[in-house]
A and B are shown apart, each in its own frame.
Chain A
Amino acid sequence: MAHQILQYMLSGLSTGAIYSLIGIGFAIIYNSTGIINFAQGEFVMLGGMLTYVFLALFDFPLPAAMGLAVVLTTAVGVVFERLAIRPLRNATPLSLVIITIGGSILIRGIAMLQFGKDTHAIPAFSSNEPLTLAGATVLPQHLWILGITLCIIAVNRFFFFHTINGKAMRACSHNRRAASLVGIGVKRMVLISFAISSAMGSVAGIITAPLTMTSYDVGIMLGLKGFCAAIIGGMSSGIGTVFGGLLLGVLESLGAGLISSGYKDAIAFIILLLILFIRPQGLFRKAETERV
């Protein structure tokens, strides 16, 4: 039984790491613009699908295909911001959310027509031989996922706390007007936030594709889960969301293994709702007094 639990935990952590990565993408855009970006999941899809396209159709080596996929996805994110988000200065956050919904439908539609409706597999980064760990097994790809996620989170933290742009972005997320008053280019920060989020989303899509395969419609579900991770983490672009993603992954996995596989998502959501009911301000935020 013990090694079964360990297996559930390991499976949950590796799925959860992906949720965290996607969640941080949500949080970064939310903090700089106040938008919940429903197109976040499509960046994840683009990462995986573009890698497949470069691999299978153009015969690129894997690292080159991955690099190009990240660059292209980032470009899509930037273009999306320039064309659809920036021109709207006085729009309410809600209409911006609807724009991101429209954008996600558009991106998904184009991917479907260009790359077809089939699911595709891409090869693992290194060997496919399972490793045994105290009765539980993991694949080398799981280690890649955990390792790359940790790296990205570390880089992210460095960026936000030790570089001038990162600090400026944090300033924007606290108070946009004050930030622009001290000379921070808020528009540029929004653009950067879209660039970072889409790059992170594409990385998440690439590192999971060898395990879970990819198709034009994988973005919806992964986006949803990432969104939940970000909210449990209090929309933080740091450790809170990482914890949120891991918690969600582990809850799903334990729910499926120990209680009922059919209700696993329901179990995870019931627990999340209970957490929210007990701490309406999220797990990681101190209760704030509302400005009147």
Chain B
Amino acid sequence: MLKGNKNLVTYGMLSGIVMLAPLFFAGGYLLNVLVFVGINTLLAVALNLLLGFAGQISLGHAAFFGLGAYISGVSTATYGVNPWAAMLLAAVAVGLVAFAIGFPILKLKGHYLAMATLGFGIIVYIVFNETVDLTGGPSGLSGIPSFTVADFSFDSDMKNYYLIWGITLVAIVLSANLVNSRIGRALRSIHSSEVAARVMGVNVRLLKVQIFTLSAVLSSIAGSLYAHTMTFISPTSFGFNFSVELLTMVVIGGLGSILGPLLGAGLLTLLPEFLRTFQDYDIIVYGLLLVLMTMYLPGGLASGFTAMCARIRSRFSREVVKNAQG
């Protein structure tokens, strides 16, 4: 109960910060970057469910992101479907695909699983490139409409910011609830020992496929949000590199933590903007920071963050004790 209250406070504060942030950035370009931070956070939350809690690696999550974006993009730009309906359509379709391939793929373990998801990602990427008549091929697909509600159109960074962060916050809270539920405990049991989980009566195979599907659906929603915000998509945004970047966000943020994805996605999305001052050397600084952060914060930013909070709290309580004694 106490824990629940503390979480409530954390989420309340988080939502407050997120909702007020645009006041400081309004009109600036950083708001635009924060829109992408929101999308990447949603993706990192999705991948963290799979990797951080169920312990199943995926090197192909950019494919689900891309499928969401392309199903949304093609159905709205070419066939005139309403963007909201398109987002739903994409989520259902991607969910079905993930559920179907989940059974054979999640039978694999360790590096075989990495390879299979990587292969899936590459196949999907090639399909985006080669089905030129449908997707526009490597030159991309433009003219994707923004989201609208009656006459209100989500056509500015500010409006998209609230839309995307609203959905992302809901996803964070849902994933936290899921993790602290019976399902979450079963998931973590798979992570520690699949055999033990099975012995305890967990339907390991089905559960893994379900969480894989949920993760894919969230990624697909992120894809739809991306497509309708950018109004242009091209295959290069959904390649192997982006799958690796997502993996990096989750690990740098902190595996299996609720705030980790937010921190990881925030850092890795904002970093290139701040590194622009280094001009051509930005790529080196980026690589170096990645190595150093992993070396000195092996538990991810979230653990560093928690440790910092704990230190502040302990100092604060010591002060309180001292004051009380004095």
A binding-site residues for B, Cβ under 8 Å? 30, 36, 38, 84, 87-88, 90-92, 94-99, 101-110, 112-113, 220, 224, 227-228, 231, 235, 262-263, 265-266, 269-270, 272-273, 276-277, 280-282, 290, 292
Q: Total contacts A to B, CB within 8 angstroms?
A: 122
Tell me if B134 is interfacial: C-beta within 8 Å of chain A: no
Residue of A nearest to B106 (CB): A280
Distance from B188 Cβ to chain A, minimum over Cβ atoms (Å)? 15
Residue of A nearest to B252 (CB): A98
Residue of B nearest to A93 (CB): B110
Q: Which of B57, B248, B283 contacts A98 (CB 8 A)?
A: B248
Tell me if B150 is interfacial: C-beta within 8 Å of chain A: no
Residues of A within 8 A of B104 (CB): 277
Q: Does A269 contact B119, Cβ atoms closer than 8 Å?
A: yes
- Decide yes or no: A105 and B115 within 8 Å by CB, A98-B248, A113-B280, A266-B127 being known contacts: no
Complex Cα distance, B284 from A282, in Å, reads 37
Q: Does B119 contact A263, Cβ atoms closer than 8 Å?
A: no
Tell me if B33 is interfacial: C-beta within 8 Å of chain A: no
Residues of A within 8 A of B115 (CB): 227-228, 231, 272, 276
Residue of A nearest to B196 (CB): A292
- Decide yes or no: A266 and B122 within 8 Å by CB, A105-B283, A277-B107 being known contacts: yes
Q: Does B287 contact A106, Cβ atoms closer than 8 Å?
A: yes
Tell me if B114 is interfacial: C-beta within 8 Å of chain A: yes
Q: Does A95 contact B251, Cβ atoms closer than 8 Å?
A: yes
Q: Which of A105, A108, A112, A270 contacts B290 (CB 8 A)?
A: A105
Residue of A nearest to B122 (CB): A269
Q: Does B195 contact A273, Cβ atoms closer than 8 Å?
A: no
- Besides A98-B252, A266-B126, 20 new A-B residue pairs in contact (Cβ under 8 A), listed by A number: A36-B111, A36-B114, A94-B51, A94-B57, A94-B251, A97-B251, A98-B294, A99-B291, A101-B290, A102-B290, A106-B290, A108-B283, A112-B283, A113-B284, A228-B118, A231-B115, A263-B126, A265-B126, A273-B120, A280-B108
Complex Cα distance, B255 from A117, in Å, reads 36
Tell me if B24 is interfacial: C-beta within 8 Å of chain A: no
Complex Cα distance, B252 from A88, in Å, reads 15
What 4 A-B pairs have minimum CB-CB distances, sorted nearest first?
A: A102-B290, A106-B287, A105-B287, A109-B283
Complex Cα distance, B57 from A244, in Å, reads 22
Residues of B within 8 A of A107 (CB): 287
Q: List 25 A-B contacts (CB under 8 A).
A: A30-B111, A84-B291, A84-B295, A88-B298, A91-B294, A95-B251, A98-B247, A98-B294, A99-B294, A101-B248, A105-B286, A106-B284, A106-B287, A106-B290, A109-B281, A109-B286, A112-B283, A235-B111, A262-B130, A265-B122, A269-B119, A273-B116, A276-B116, A281-B112, A292-B196
Q: Does B290 contact A273, Cβ atoms closer than 8 Å?
A: no
Q: Does B287 contact A113, Cβ atoms closer than 8 Å?
A: no
Residues of B within 8 A of A94 (CB): 51, 57, 251, 255
B binding-site residues for A, Cβ under 8 Å? 51, 57, 104-105, 107-109, 111-112, 114-116, 118-120, 122-123, 126-127, 129-130, 193-196, 240-241, 244, 247-248, 251-252, 255, 280-281, 283-284, 286-291, 294-295, 298
- Decide yes or no: A270 and B195 within 8 Å by CB, A231-B112, A262-B130, A282-B112 being known contacts: no
Residue of B nearest to A230 (CB): B111
Q: Which of B114, B122, B129, B193 contacts A262 (CB 8 A)?
A: B129
User: Secondary structure of the B side of the interface?
Assistant: helix
Residues of A within 8 A of B114 (CB): 36, 231
User: Secondary structure of the A side of the interface?
Assistant: helix
Complex Cα distance, B111 from A38, in Å, reads 13
Residues of B within 8 A of A269 (CB): 119-120, 122-123
Distance from A149 Cβ to chain B, minimum over Cβ atoms (Å)? 22
Residue of A nearest to B52 (CB): A94
Residues of B within 8 A of A88 (CB): 294-295, 298
Q: Does B298 contact A280, Cβ atoms closer than 8 Å?
A: no
Complex Cα distance, B283 from A107, in Å, reads 10
Distance from A226 Cβ to chain B, minimum over Cβ atoms (Å)? 12
Distance from A48 Cβ to chain B, minimum over Cβ atoms (Å)? 20
Residue of A nearest to B298 (CB): A91
Residue of A nearest to B117 (CB): A273
Complex Cα distance, B283 from A108, in Å, reads 9
Residue of B nearest to A89 (CB): B298
Residues of A within 8 A of B252 (CB): 98
Distance from A32 Cβ to chain B, minimum over Cβ atoms (Å)? 15
- Decide yes or no: A102 and B108 within 8 Å by CB, A92-B298, A272-B119 being known contacts: no
Complex Cα distance, B241 from A142, in Å, reads 31
Distance from B56 Cβ to chain A, minimum over Cβ atoms (Å)? 12
Q: Which of A30, A262, A276, A290 contacts B112 (CB 8 A)?
A: A276
Complex Cα distance, B128 from A266, in Å, reads 12
- Decide yes or no: A102 and B294 within 8 Å by CB, A30-B111, A292-B196 being known contacts: yes
Residue of A nearest to B104 (CB): A277
Q: Which of B112, B127, B195 contacts A292 (CB 8 A)?
A: B195
Complex Cα distance, B291 from A38, in Å, reads 13
Distance from B136 Cβ to chain A, minimum over Cβ atoms (Å)? 15
Residue of A nearest to B284 (CB): A109
Residue of A nearest to B282 (CB): A109
Residues of B within 8 A of A99 (CB): 290-291, 294-295
Q: Does B284 contact A280, Cβ atoms closer than 8 Å?
A: no
Question: Among the interface residues A266, A281, A282, A292, which one has the most CB atoms of the partner chain B within 10 A?
Answer: A266
